[in-house]
Chain A
Amino acid sequence: MRVLLTSFALDAHFNGSVPLAWALRAAGHEVRVASQPGLTGSITAAGLTAVPVGADPGLDAMVKGVGDSVLSHHANQSLDPDAPGQLTPAFLKGWDAMMTATFFALINDDPMVDELVAFAREWQPDLVLWEPFTFAGAVAAKVTGAAHARVLSFPDMFMPMRQGFLAQLGAGPGTGLAAQDGEQGAAHPEDSLGQWLQWTLGRYGLPFDEEAVTGQWSVDQVPRSFRPPSEVPTVGMRYIPYNGPVPAVVPDWLRVPPTRPRVCVTLGLTARTSEFPNAVPVDLVLKAIEGLDIEVVATLDAEERALLTHVPDNVRLVDHVPLHALLPTCAAIVHHGGAGTWSTALVEGVPQIAMGWIWDAIERARRQQELGAGLHLPSHEVTVEGLRSRLVRLLEEPSFTEAAARLRAEAESEPTPAEVVPVLERLTAQHRAHGRRPLGGASTPCAS
């Protein structure tokens, strides 16, 4: 079959779908990866076939201009059912209004959607797999009658918030204010995301329905312990680390086992290449590990190293090392909270100290701590003593390693991408519009 995979142009959001793309390709399916031209290099570096659509949406300018305000709205929000004052109607409304204006409608701008739809009309995919914020994929699928699904490579905070938001809109007014009358069969007038999808689908003569937000099903690569309840079917899949387009090379020192417990310190790759800020006080982090009887591998680039006043003896500074090669040798990891790092550590069974401060990172870290496989230390709360004592606990208390091993086992109990391919073939046959050509793929004879 023909599978169109799409993600907006940010490595951290694209990387998570690469192993599934490989599996589909290896099973004989045609795979195209559509994104803005800025991702073309990353797509081809992953060995996949790129279809550039649209132009640079200007995400960096947005983050520079209003990123702080948008993030501050999301500060201290959590899906923790026991936390008070969470996900209030006002928060959810602002989330919908701000995120749609600054992010969803930006990364899926009109040229991007139009060119993706044009390509899909020409290429006629059977299945569109889309990164969970790349709603252009849902639009292209609906226009062409393809089946479509979201591919999740980190815990899904979006959907519980979306559901909470819709429930609150449906509950009606309670504050002396009410929305103006909407129209039958249309998105609620106060639903920014729905409104935007409605006029976007309207360009192709299609009505809006919530399926454009949810997909027909999800492929979810996080262990069940991190999955929120879903209103669409979930196909579980094992997360296979693919750590991005930076060449993955195993250095000499990594070929011999460490003599002391090894701890990885990383700030990820996204802050290096985008305007998303690094909030981790990296100098404090290294001070905190000074003198501990451990070996630290810190992946820091020149700009990050410039923040250091002193490099302790037990620290090996490297610019980059593939995490999936490094982490199996590590006893713990201290990181910025990013999704790729978090997921890789999780499937490698390594206890984590996550210094997440952006809402989704906080949620991952919070849940990780709740499950006993790590500790959350928001970057703005980092002190030398606080971090050191947490790291010592991680290394000395076996419960963290045991919990991390349990999560690893949970991750490994999911089917691999290769095992998921036949499931996707069945779901695609079930969901795509009728009367189209038979699905090709593994069993299709070559037409040579």
Chain B
Amino acid sequence: MTDTETDETTPAAPEQVQQVRQTDSELGRHLLTARGFHWIYGTSGDPYALTLRAESDDPVVLGRRIRESQTPLWQSAAGAWVTGRHSVAAEVLADPRLSLRHADLPGLQRHVFSDAWSNPLLCHIIPLDRAFLHASGADHARWERAAAPVLGAGAADGHRKHAERVHQETADRLGASFDLMADYSRPAATEAAAALLGVPEAQRDRFAHACAALRVALDAALCPQPLAVTRRLTAAVEDVRALVADLVAARRTEPGDDLLSTVLRAGSGGSTASAAEDALAVGVLTAAVGVEFTAGLINNALEALLAHPRQWALLGESPDLAAGAVEETLRHAPPVRLESRIAAEDLTLAGQDIPAGAQVVAHVGAANRDPEVFLAPDHFDLTRPVDQGQLALSGPHTSLFGAFARLQAETAIRTLRERHPALAPADGVQRRMRSPVLGGVLRFTLTTSA
């Protein structure tokens, strides 16, 4: 710990979690060492280490190996206890003793490699507390309740008209050949998120710029990003905090029906400061998680549908199947594949004794293809019966933005299917290296005419 850090003593108390100022050498070396470890642990073929390495190995194949490991929950060379079994993953995701943060580390979730070669801690590669990504279960529950009137499943229909307009406008701007991520998914998701928060026109570019840099946030916690990417990420966290904080301040005097005002209203019984901090948290998470999660869901849905022309055709006949297509995408190719937790106390899970402080990882992507639960799990089928227990929205981040992302993806599919029935991939999907959690798309070129 350096002297520039202070500890967060009260959860959600404003401005308690300070930034850490590190030189390029200090931060760079830390990222380099963590990256070295992922390579080192992968040399033995450990499928979780190879997943974190996030190189050319097929993540689905690695997920299968994680799931098919002899013990349902097993300890990777990288330290984490890992599962790809549906039953165990569901247990992990539901267990309140498994948290995003260390129970005995009140401030930043930051680990310095002091005794690196024998015992590196790879559960929080960089602290993303400033982006509210390592919050407690209690904080998340409160945020989700407060945001429910806007982000909850019941509120989705109220956003549909706006979503349709955003998606139609975005689709109308597309040329004969376009990049799904850069020209459609991210702009539409960003626009929808900006509307949720009530970001004024004049700040939309700034907001979009920050969201683009925040795209690696969920990956950066588990997989070291290059130094420049990490610097852009942490700068964007600060910028989006400032932007959202200004919006929150404005809504306190002039409330509206946007997400931030809604969260402020929900917290009006408590202190003003904590209500404002809650609104800040939900706003920052919208940029740091909501946008990329939504864009990822759109990308993954389109990738699957275009790879299955008969299902694409079926969608043309029955546009209402868009909801099923999104649901099946959440199962088949969840936009958040890995959920990482820390045991708050000694506990027994799937027959294994897990000590307090240990990392437990649920591989949602693998669990969602567990043949114990899903018939022909590798097959994408938009007519598959729903409610079979896919886990893509069972984490605190994915749960908060689940309804929002669903609506956006459903609208995207309907809109693109309707406007561009001859949509086809010009080339394969290019995904980012070092993106084990999101499998973030860098490029996916599509053509609109056959």
- Cβ of B165 < 8 Å from any Cβ of A? no
Contact partners of A176 in chain B: CB under 8 A = 56, 428-431
Q: Mark A182-212, 1 if CB is under 8 A from B, else 0.
A: 1100100110100110011011000000000
- Cβ of A425 < 8 Å from any Cβ of B? no
Chain A binder among B1-9, B145-153, B189-197, B226-234: B226-234
Contact partners of B428 in chain A: CB under 8 A = 176
For chain A, give the interface size range.
35 or more
Q: How far is the CA of A102 from the CA of B120 in the complex (A)?
A: 13
Instruction: Give B43 Cβ to nearest chain A Cβ, in Å.
Output: 5
Contact partners of B229 in chain A: CB under 8 A = 180, 189
B-facing residues in A47-62 (Cβ within 8 Å)? 58, 61-62
- Cβ of A225 < 8 Å from any Cβ of B? no
Check B432–A180 contact: CB distance below 8 A.
yes
Check B24–A69 contact: CB distance below 8 A.
no
Q: How far is the CA of A341 from the CA of B346 in the complex (A)?
A: 54
Check A203–B226 contact: CB distance below 8 A.
no
Contact partners of B117 in chain A: CB under 8 A = 58, 61-62, 64-66, 102
Q: How far is the CA of A102 from the CA of B116 in the complex (A)?
A: 10
Q: Mark A79-99, 1 if CB is under 8 A from B, else 0.
A: 000000000011001100110
- Cβ of A101 < 8 Å from any Cβ of B? yes
Contact partners of A44 in chain B: CB under 8 A = none
Q: How far is the CA of A190 from the CA of B434 in the complex (A)?
A: 10
B-facing residues in A79-132 (Cβ within 8 Å)? 89-90, 93-94, 97-98, 100-102, 105, 110
Interface residues of A, dominant DSSP? helix
Known: A61-B117, A105-B29. A180 touches B442 (CB 8 A): yes
Contact partners of A98 in chain B: CB under 8 A = 36, 39-40
- Cβ of A326 < 8 Å from any Cβ of B? no
- Cβ of B74 < 8 Å from any Cβ of A? no
- Cβ of A170 < 8 Å from any Cβ of B? no
* Nearest-CB residue, chain B, relative to A173: B430
- Cβ of B443 < 8 Å from any Cβ of A? yes
Pick the residue among A69, A173, A189 that contacts B226 (CB under 8 A): A189
Contact partners of B32 in chain A: CB under 8 A = 97, 100-101, 105, 192, 195-196
Q: Mark B296-316, 1 if CB is under 8 A from A, else 0.
A: 000000000000000000000
A-facing residues in B1-37 (Cβ within 8 Å)? 23-25, 28-29, 32-33, 35-37
* Nearest-CB residue, chain A, relative to B215: A180
- Cβ of A256 < 8 Å from any Cβ of B? no
- Cβ of B348 < 8 Å from any Cβ of A? no
- Cβ of A306 < 8 Å from any Cβ of B? no
Instruction: Give A174 Cβ to nearest chain B Cβ, in Å.
Output: 9
Of the listed residues B116, B226, B227, the one surrounded by the most CB atoms of chain A closer than 10 A to its CB is B226
Q: Mark B110-128, 1 if CB is under 8 A from A, else 0.
A: 0000001110000000000
Check B433–A179 contact: CB distance below 8 A.
yes
- Cβ of B44 < 8 Å from any Cβ of A? yes
Q: How far is the CA of A101 from the CA of B34 in the complex (A)?
A: 8
Pick the residue among B25, B42, B43 that contacts A200 (CB under 8 A): B25
- Cβ of B404 < 8 Å from any Cβ of A? no
Pick the residue among A65, A69, A70, A177 that contacts B433 (CB under 8 A): A177
- Cβ of B55 < 8 Å from any Cβ of A? yes
Contact partners of B29 in chain A: CB under 8 A = 105, 110, 196
Contact partners of B443 in chain A: CB under 8 A = 178
* Nearest-CB residue, chain A, relative to B56: A175
- Cβ of B293 < 8 Å from any Cβ of A? no
Q: How far is the CA of A178 from the CA of B29 in the complex (A)?
A: 23
* Nearest-CB residue, chain B, relative to A189: B226
Q: How far is the CA of A177 from the CA of B116 in the complex (A)?
A: 29
Known: A176-B431, A199-B25. A73 touches B35 (CB 8 A): no
Check B433–A196 contact: CB distance below 8 A.
no
- Cβ of A72 < 8 Å from any Cβ of B? yes
Q: How far is the CA of A178 from the CA of B43 in the complex (A)?
A: 22
* Nearest-CB residue, chain B, relative to A68: B43
Q: How far is the CA of A100 from the CA of B118 in the complex (A)?
A: 18
- Cβ of B48 < 8 Å from any Cβ of A? no
Check B431–A73 contact: CB distance below 8 A.
no
* Nearest-CB residue, chain B, relative to A183: B228
Contact partners of B40 in chain A: CB under 8 A = 66, 69-70, 73, 98, 102
Check B433–A94 contact: CB distance below 8 A.
no
Q: How far is the CA of A175 from the CA of B434 in the complex (A)?
A: 14
**Residues of B with Cβ closer than 8 Å to A?**
23-25, 28-29, 32-33, 35-37, 39-44, 54-56, 116-118, 216, 225-229, 428-434, 442-443
New A-B contacts (12) at CB < 8 Å, excluding given A180-B432, A203-B25:
A61-B117, A70-B40, A73-B43, A90-B55, A93-B55, A101-B35, A102-B40, A177-B431, A178-B431, A186-B228, A195-B226, A199-B24
Between A and B, 27 residue pairs with Cβ closer than 8 Å are A61-B117, A65-B116, A69-B40, A72-B43, A73-B39, A90-B56, A94-B42, A97-B36, A98-B36, A105-B32, A110-B29, A176-B56, A176-B431, A177-B430, A177-B431, A177-B433, A179-B432, A180-B225, A180-B226, A189-B228, A189-B229, A190-B433, A192-B36, A195-B28, A199-B23, A199-B227, A202-B24
